[in-house]
Amino acid sequence: MTISLSHVHFSYPDTPDKPVLNIPSWSVTSQEHVFVHGPSGCGKSTLLNLLSGMLAPSEGEVTVLGKRLDNMSHRQRDQFRANHIGYVFQQFNLIPYLNAVENIQLATHFSRTKRTSVKQEIEELLTKLNISPDDSTKQTAKLSIGQQQRVAIARALINKPELLIADEPTSSLDQHNRDNFMSVLMSLVSAYNITLIFVSHDMSLSHYFERIDALSDISRLGGKH
């Protein structure tokens, strides 16, 4: 099992009476590609932050790749995230003043993943993602949105994560770029045997996935426990 959530309850410290998530049980098996959908503001990003260790649950157990994140210290969760989890956002996935190669290198800085040649790995990934050598040395702010999102995939995959989290990564892309992005993403996660949690409110993307979960089914905000 890659992900296992049990009796997870989360509310922000400043609003303890307003639960954001209440998940009795939810699990994802290894290499599964899960599409999680739900309306805006229903807690999708909060769920992803719990899975990545950015947030700790108020109650309950969050197990990712066999490790209990809720028992880890902040520092341990940071290190775990750097080593095992890739993350792609809706936007602002890259440091704008660095070029594509530097952005990807930066992700390797925090990871303890063993590697032979970072530069070679980056070049290979960028080639697979159709980023030309010229574009890879440009400031990412000067790349198109589609190119930026593809560089973001490379950045998320460089540490060979077992789990990839994508938070509405296609919402700022047009139809063509969206299809392009999805086909590249799905082929890479399959090739690298990565578990994918993909969150979106765009149901038209659901056909790329073998499992589709509505957040309202995962989180039962009607009653705690």
Partner 1 sequence: MFLRLALKSLLNRRGSVLLTLMAMTVSVSVLLAVEHIRHQAKESFANTVSGVDLIVGARTGSLNLLLYSVFRIGSPTNNIAWESFEDIASNPQVKWAIPITLGDSHKGYRVMGTTQDYFEFFSYGNQHKLSFDKGHAFKQVFDVVIGSGIAKTLGYSLGEELILSHGIASTSFSLHDDRPFNVVGILEPTGTPIDQTLHVSLEGIEAIHIDWKNGVKIPSSHITTDQIEALELKPKTITAFMLGLKSRMTTFRVQRDINQYMKEPMLAILPGVALSELWQIMSILENTLLLVAVLVFIAALLGLSAMLLSSIRDRSREIQLLRVIGAPPSFLFLFIELEAVIITLSSIVLGAGLLSACLITAQDFLISRFGLNIGTNILSESTLYFAFSMLAAAIVAAAIPSLSAYSRAKSIQG
Interaction site with partner 1 (CB under 8 A): 12-13, 49, 52, 54-56, 74-75, 77-79, 81-83, 87, 89, 92-98, 102, 105-107, 109-111, 155
Write out the H or E segment, with its range, that includes residue 82.
helix 74-84
Q: Are strands 59-64 and 3-10 parallel, antiparallel or unpaired?
A: antiparallel
CB of 205 to partner 1, least distance (A): 22
35 with 198: CB under 8 angstroms?
yes
Quick check: 213 and 36 in contact, CB under 8 A? Answer: yes
Comparison of 142 and 211: residue with beta carbon closer to partner 1: 142
CB 64 within 8 A of CB 84: yes
Q: Encoding tokens for residue 33? A: 């590609």
Task: Give min distance, CB of 1 to partner 1, in A.
Answer: 23
Considering the complex, what minimum distance in angstroms separates the CB of residue 203 from partner 1?
A: 26
CA atoms within 13 A on the CB side of 61: 12
Closest to partner 1 by CB, 93 vs 219, is: 93
By C-beta, is 93 or 195 nearer to partner 1?
93
Give how far the C-alpha of residue 128 lies from the chain's centroid of Cα atoms, to the nearest Å: 19
User: Crossing angle, helix 145-157 and helix 100-109, to 10 degrees?
Assistant: 30
What is the smallest separation between the CB atom of 80 and partner 1, expressed in angstroms? 8
- Between 13 and 66, CB nearer to partner 1: 13
What the block records as the tokens of 93 is 């996935």
Q: Which is nearer to partner 1, 118 or 186 (CB)?
A: 118
Query: What does the block give as tokens for 53?
Result: 């260790």
Tell me the closest approach of the beta carbon of residue 178 to partner 1, in angstroms: 22
